[in-house]
Amino acid sequence: MMNPSSKTNRNSDGCWTCRLRKKKCDLGQPTCVSCASLEIECVYSDAKPRWMDGGELQRGRAEQVKAEVKRRATWRREKRHVAGDMDGETMIDLEMADGLHGVHLSAKAAQVNGDREPARAFASVEQAGAIDGHSFDAATDTTPSSSWATEHSPNSSATAVSPASSRDHHHDATTAVGTVLPNDRELAQVMAYLDYVFPFLYPFYRPPIFSGGRGWMLTLLMRNKALLHASLTLVSFFMAVWFHQDGLGDGHGGDGDLTDGGGAPPDDPGGKGRHVRTCQAAAWTEMQTQQELSMRSLMEDIADINEHGVKGRLREGSRTLASIIQILCFEVAVGNAAGSWSLHLDGAIVLLDQMLQLNAQSVRGPAGDTIVCWRSVLAALDLEDGGEGRVQAWLLSSDQAALQFFSAAAIYFDIVSSTALEQAPRLAGYHASLLATPSEHLSAVSPLVPVELVMGHACPRALAEDLPPVDLGVVSGAANWVLVCVGETAGLDAWKKTERRHARLDMVELVTRAGVIERKLRLGLEKMDAAAGGRCQGGRDGKGPASTMAPSYTPPPIRPDCPTSHAPPDEDTHGLTTGIWAHAALAYLAVVVNGWQPASGTIRASVDTALSFLSTLSASRPFCLQTVGWPLAVAGCLAAREQEPRFRALVGSIGGGLEVFGAVREALGIMEGVWARRGEIEGAQVEWDLSRCFGINGRRAFLV
């Protein structure tokens, strides 16, 4: 154990990782610039790590770090290609005019150019133009519920492009809605987004034909320039990566220089490698252009919200929410290492919270809780669109459908991020109102609450099919109840750590609270197994109900070599995905209560079952693995040594080079980092948990 002065000495020498690598450390916390730029874990502790023994363990750890730096070098080079040399500053500034109870919400996220001081940056100068073209100050890594803030200074260049903002048609519901008219090339990219990218990102979103399908998205893209350019940014990035995979598949790396002459190099007689690299470079350039346009257009929309607020202006708020979520999806897809995802997510959460608090009808329940009426929000949105305040049983307006979808995304993102941020979900206060089905509301509310109130809370289709007001399954593939349990476990983890810091942790209270969550998870699994058994029995007997599944759109394969099934996810696929989340949640809960005990029977059973379900999903719907990044990482971090090859194979099963996108790649990086440090983690003198796993690569992971 180090003496009381050791902390000062440790700070003067830097983090243990830099000391291991014999590099100068800038002393930045929680992550120094050097570790952040290389995307490796930055280790600060008063006690010397076990591997700093001056012998074999230290040499072995140094080799592990060196291998990790080398493994990530290729991806860092790709990110520098993406970043380019974007001049000027882009700023997001969200400070609503109609704050609650006189409190104005502030939300700012600034793009900072290469002149920023390195000590203030989460990433190094190398990352000053991070993969999304932004570099954010993450020194304020805390996440207050009403702040999405960094330093900012306006730049006149931000208005050099005059985006066609939706504000032109916001202020009068009777005014004809403005339309953004993309050129022919952009229109082709819009269709590529709708046909290929959107179904890949959200494989479980298959709206039936009589609900309008995904037509609302096309309408929204034509009316919201920020969303349009954010979507085209995603398309360009996907195309760039696919071109890169084509080059690698033919032995022509995407990192090589283009040939100056017209002829092909000797090892590329057909010249395909040169053409692939040319196309890839064009896609990178297009992506940078579209991303800058999306940010500038979003600034216009946020300026409108700053001036007029969102009370009575749900349309403006929902379209801005859609744009922020879309930009966030781009950051997830490219694996943003600068941490800006948390800043953009803060903005989405603050905006949705304001929209609900200022526009939704609500009543106070007998327990003092607030029941928010989602139907009243959709009805108010219809009034803003010039309607009569109706909510149709099936066919929602484009703005209603957009609010429904992107609210689900924001709530889902909030839940998953809370596990890495070590806090309760900030929208948890809406879970009971928005994520429970009508039957669950009826069984949970007090007899003092009239049945008519619960029935009036739900939309017609929700009543007919016992659906929740907001279905997170369209984004995640998992049922609401299991995601609520994940959020509750994150809240329990945050509570436990707070109580421990104040030396007042009551283990009986901890176990009691955990028991409530565990019972919900196991009851949900029992009901799901019973429903699956009923479907199987009905199919064997020929007595099952006739399928009433309406036809829905099935996208074409993204690449000819992708082993994707053309069949859309069915009830069994939803059940399988929910089961994966549930067993990962049980393992997560066990770690929160009992600590890092990967060999315990409870954790082993949960991990084994989750791995079995993941293998089944990989064999039947490999693209759906994109939606299980969080449970994949949880199960993988707790996996036995002999299970490691099976987890690696799961990621490779996606095929077509698409395993490099977003949460799947991030999950694999986390697992590999944990596996490389098994001995150290299992013998650690400090408590290890899954939140530390999610930060093992020098940044907080966002596994959605």
pLDDT digits (tens, 9 = 90+) for 26-76: 887 767 888 877 878 888 877 788 888 888 888 888 888 887 787 666 555
Smallest Cα–Cα separation from 570: which of 517, 532, 516?
532
User: Measured between alpha carbons, how far is 530 from 544 in angstroms, rounded to an integer?
Assistant: 14
For the stretch 675-700, pLDDT in tens is 988 888 877 666 899 999 998 888 88
pLDDT tens, residue by residue, 248-275: 444 444 443 333 334 444 455 555 566 6
Model confidence at 579, in pLDDT bands (50, 70, 90)? very high
CB-based burial label for 312 (10 Å; 0-12, 13-18, 19+): middle
Q: Which helix (H) or strand (E) holds 107?
A: strand 106-110
Which comes out higher in pLDDT, residue 636 or 130?
A: 636
pLDDT band per the 50, 70, 90 thresholds, residue 134: very low
Q: Is residue 664 within 8 Å of residue 654, measured between CB atoms?
A: yes
Whole-number pLDDT of residue 334: 76
Structure tokens at 384: 């803003």
58 and 271 Cβ atoms separated by less than 8 Å: no
Q: What is the dihedral of CA 139, 328, 128, 32, to 10 degrees?
A: 40
How far is residue 133's CA from residue 288's CA, in Å, rounded to a whole number?
A: 7
Residue length of the chain: 704
Beta-carbon contacts of residue 186 (< 8 Å; ≥ 6 apart): 228, 232
Q: Give the mean pLDDT of the chain.
A: 74
Q: What is the pTM of this model?
A: 0.75
Tell me the Ramachandran region of residue 178: left when phi exceeds 0, alpha when psi lies from -120 to 50, beta otherwise. beta
Of 103-107, 200-204, 208-212, 541-545, the poorest mean pLDDT is in 103-107
- Please report, rounded to a whole number, the percentage of residues in the chain having pLDDT higher than 70: 65
Q: Token pair 């490796």 is at which residue?
A: 40
At what angle are helices 225-249 and 215-223 packed, to 10 degrees? Answer: 110
362 beta partners: 372
In angstroms, the CA 329 to CA 348 distance is 12
pLDDT at 200: 85
Element (H, E) at 378: helix 374-384
- Asked whether the predicted pLDDT for residue 242 surpasses 60, the reply is yes
pLDDT tens digits along 448-489 = 455 555 555 556 555 556 688 899 999 999 999 999 999 999
Judged against a pLDDT cut of 50, whether residue 327 lies above it is answered with: yes
Closest CA to 293 of 338, 351, 227, 241: 227
Residue 504, burial from CB neighbour count under 10 angstroms (0-12, 13-18, 19+): exposed
DSSP track, 411-477: HHHHHHHHHHHTS--TTGGGHHHHSS-HHHHHHHS-TTS-HHHHHHHS-HHHHHHT--SS-THHHHS
Tell me phi and psi for residue 311, to 5 degrees.
-70, 120
- What's residue 131's pLDDT? 28
**Which pLDDT score is estimated for 8?**
35
Give me the domains of the chain, ranges plus CATH numbers.
Answer: 6-83 (4.10.240), 91-261+270-424 (no CATH), 479-539+564-693 (no CATH)
pLDDT-based confidence at residue 417 (cuts at 50, 70, 90): very high
The pLDDT score that the predictor gives to residue 541 is 52
What token pair was written down for 372? 């928010």
CA gap 45, 28 in Å, rounded: 14
Lowest mean pLDDT segment, chosen from 267-271, 346-350, 606-610: 267-271
Q: How does pLDDT run across 645-678, given as a tens digit for each residue?
A: 999 988 877 665 555 567 888 898 899 999 988 8
**506 has pLDDT over 70:** yes
Helix (H, G, I), strand (E, B) or coil at 376: helix
Check residues 621 and 217 and name the one with the higher pLDDT: 217
Beta strand segments in 293-397, E: 361-364, 370-373
CB 422 within 8 A of CB 497: yes
